């Protein structure tokens, strides 16, 4: 069985497709990991903003 590390196809397939949200008060980030095994591609989309006071 292959180890589920981020730098293998197995790891990308099982761990990369995810959504994370971080709110640090004045900064909000949304990260979306997408793994496309058919085309052998992994991408991450990062969206965020800084709050005005």
34-51 residue pLDDT tens: 989 899 888 999 999 998
Predicted pLDDT of residue 2: 47
Domain count, the chain: 1
Please give the model's pTM, rounded to 2 decimal places: 0.63
Examine residue 13 and state whether it is found in any structural domain, yes or no. yes
Q: What percent of the chain has pLDDT over 90?
A: 42
Domain membership of residue 41 (yes or no) is yes
Q: Indicate whether 15 belongs to any domain.
A: yes
| Contact between 6 and 15 (Cβ < 8 Å) | yes
**3-state secondary structure at position 28:** strand
The answer to the question of residue 39 being in a domain is: yes
Domain span at 17: 9-50
């Amino acid at each position: 069985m292959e180890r589920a590390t981020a730098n293998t196809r197995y790891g990308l397939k099982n761990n990369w497709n995810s959504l994370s949200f971080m709110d640090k008060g004045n900064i909000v980030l949304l990260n979306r990991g997408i793994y496309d095994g058919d085309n052998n591609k992994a991408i991450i989309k990062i969206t965020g903003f800084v709050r005005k006071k």
